[in-house]
Amino acid sequence: MTYCVGLRLRRGLMFMSDTRTNAGVDNVSSFKKMYTWERKGDRLITLLSAGNLATTQTVVSMLEERHKTAGERDPDIYEVPSMFQAAKLVGDTVRSVIREIAVGGGFKSESSFGATFILGGQIAGGESRMYLIYPEGNFIEATDDNPFFQIGEHKYGKPILVRAYDPDMSFEEAAKLLIVSFDSTLKSNLSVGLPLDMQTYETGSLKRGAEKRLLASDPYYQAISDGWSEALRQAFQHLPNYEGLEQAD
């Protein structure tokens, strides 16, 4: 499993991903699930991936290779004119990868080759945008009504996102929110694991913002993890107990 989140804020975008991959609980490794294509002053595109690791790595490698074989007819992620076209390029690529294995290869289980992506960034001349891309290659865009995307093990970490997200947050507050959301997930699902990768994108900058890898030993991560458990317990203590439990006769 995996857990990745992309947040759309007024000041830009914020991404976080875990690094655990596993095939069974006895075959666990660490892989970065955050990929960035940058040409300063022209574009910053970041991709988060969840799902079959062979599929996601193949998608990323194909996007890289197409850039190196420039001049041919396939689109190049450094040349697409808009974020919409970038999302379409990633969507077309993932569909073709999955089709090759599942349909071309004759293997039945399409779902087990599946992968889902969050793509965000900005290309000169366009807005800062963020998309959720499905294994079928289609995609949806983040809006004011739906300002964040989660992929992978999204359930444990959703309640705090729903309650504490604010589009006017600073990146520092958003980092706190994402760390709390990830911490709830890490505590409940062994297949999501540290370290965490974090990246910010400031709207209009057209270059990568802050990047950080959070290790288990990170003192801030520890402080948030312990502090949030304690804060939850205290918040819970301060709510009134239920008084309506009349005993039956």
Give the interface with a second copy as residue ranges (CB under 8 A).
155-156, 158-160, 162-164, 170-173, 175-177, 179-180, 184, 187-188, 198, 200, 207-212, 220, 223-224, 227-229, 231-236, 238-248
Minimal distance in Å, beta carbon 7 to a second copy?
Answer: 13
d(C-alpha 140, C-alpha 149), whole Å: 10
* C-beta closer to a second copy: residue 147 or 227: 227
- E strand map for 1-105: 3-9, 12-17, 20-22, 28-30, 34-39, 43-51
Please give the angle made by the CA atoms of 35, 197 and 222, to the nearest 5 degrees. 175
| Between 25 and 239, CB nearer to a second copy | 239
Which residue lies nearer to a second copy by CB, 62 or 151? 151
Give min distance, CB of 34 to a second copy, in A. 14
Of 237, 224, 196, 211, nearest in space to 16 by CA: 196
Nearer to a second copy, 27 or 162 (CB): 162
CB of 6 to a second copy, least distance (A): 16
Distance of closest approach, residue 73 Cβ to a second copy, in angstroms: 34
Asked if the peptide bond before residue 147 counts as cis, ω within 30 degrees of 0, the response is: no
